Structure formats: C-alpha cells, structure tokens
Chains A and B, each alone.
Chain A
Amino acid sequence: AQSVTQLDSHVSVSEGTPVLLRCNYSSSYSPSLFWYVQHPNKGLQLLLKYTSAATLVKGINGFEAEFKKSETSFHLTKPSAHMSDAAEYFCVVSRDTGFQKLVFGTGTRLLVSP
C-alpha cells in the first residue's frame, strides 16, 4: 500500500532563511508524488508534482522538491522563506497509477517569523 510520512508536524523559520519540509514515501511501484499547500480558510493548492520524469521538480512560488528513490524521500525546499509561505503543507502519494486516488500525509505547519 502507498503511504507518506511527514517527519515534522511544525517547522519554524525566519523570513529570508531556507525552508525544508521532509517527506518519506512507501510505494510498491514507481510513485507519483505531490506537494499541496493549504492556507488558512483556503482550499488546497498544488505546489508541484513528480511523475517519473526529472527527479528535481520545480513548483510555484519558488518551491522545489527532489525525488530520491534510494532514500524514499521527496523533501520540499525553498531557498528563502516569505511571510506569505506560512501555511499547512501536505505531502501526497497517488494510490494508483492514474494519479487519481490520493493518500495525504499528516501535514506540516510552516511558521514564518519576521
């Protein structure tokens, strides 16, 4: 069965410093992996997705993630945090090969201080 583990429930950074949100996956086949962001009282927005093409995936708002099969990881990074990045981030794996049924991680709340 496919699953994801987000290693940190909360991450705190200062504005202008790097962001690292960690995610490990488990999958019986080559997975499709996603990062979604949820701002307070807003819907989920897709940041980026990995679907077996390039292992370094660039997303919106300066975020990127690297798929590492040897480490079963898909960590999300950003070189410089902005106050507007404060939100809940979900690492997600597709439960099937058609990217349809998604399995969500427990989420990481990113806090950005001035």
Chain B
Amino acid sequence: SAVISQKPSRDICQRGTSLTIQCQVDSQVTMMFWYRQQPGQSLTLIATANQGSEATYESGFVIDKFPISRPNLTFSTLTVSNMSPEDSSIYLCSGSGGEVMDTQYFGPGTRLTVL
C-alpha cells in the first residue's frame, strides 16, 4: 500500500493569487495524478504528472492555469494560478504503479476556498 500526504490541508486565498499544493508518497510510484472535486460533486481528473517531462492535461484543463511539477517518483506539486472563486474545490493527488502495483491510492485532499 501507499500513504499519500498533501500540504496544505486547506487554505483560503484571495482572487488573483496562486497556491501551490504539495503531494508526497511514501513509496515509489510510476504514475501520479491530480483531481478536482468541486463542492458536492464527483472527482474529475485534471492531469497526469509525468516524471521529468511536461504533465498531460485532460480536456478543459491547461498548463497555464494548473502548472504541475514532478521532480521524482515520490513527489509532485500542483499550482492553481490566478485564482477565482470558481476554483474553490478540493484538490486530490493520487499515485499508482511501481511499488503499489495497479491500485491507485489517494491523498486526503486540499480544501481550497477562493474569496
């Protein structure tokens, strides 16, 4: 199994600012992903964080808005840029592959409120 931690657990931000969320896995995983869960809704995949190369974004999500880094097999960051109230969501990271095989484990999420 894998334990995934995220920092911060929650934050309240002003519109127009940016927030970087960190995701740390206690095992080496092949794949890392970032999801968004808007209030009262299900999870939507934002992007796949690729080690050593640019992230792969899903339809409707762009790098300028959600830049992602993945410097190694256990760590990734997601930045929410130029925030607006519509970005208020829970952001979750997950990891799979490698030492944890085909099961995808999730972090506890970062609850973001944009005023």
List residues of A whose CB falls within 8 A of some B CB.
36, 42-46, 49, 51, 90, 98-107
A106 to B37, CA, bound (A): 11
B92 to chain A: which residues have CB within 8 Å? 43-44
Contact present for A43 and B106 (CB under 8 Å): yes
What is the total number of residues of chain B having a CB less than 8 Å from a CB of chain A?
21
Contact present for A100 and B42 (CB under 8 Å): no
**Does B76 have its Cβ within 8 Å of any Cβ on chain A?**
no
Contact present for B108 and A99 (CB under 8 Å): no
Contact present for B107 and A43 (CB under 8 Å): yes
Q: What's the least CB distance linking B90 to chain A, in Å?
A: 10
A43 to chain B: which residues have CB within 8 Å? 4, 92, 106-109
List residues of B whose CB falls within 8 A of some A CB.
4, 31, 33, 41-45, 48, 92, 94, 96-97, 102-109
| Closest A residue to B97 using CB positions | A100
Known pairs A43-B109, A44-B106; list 20 more (Cβ under 8 Å). A43-B4, A44-B43, A44-B92, A45-B106, A46-B103, A46-B104, A90-B42, A90-B43, A98-B102, A99-B96, A99-B103, A100-B31, A100-B48, A100-B97, A101-B33, A101-B45, A102-B104, A103-B45, A104-B43, A107-B42
| Closest B residue to A90 using CB positions | B42
Q: Top 7 nearest A-B pairs by Cβ distance?
A: A43-B108, A44-B106, A99-B102, A104-B43, A104-B42, A106-B42, A43-B106
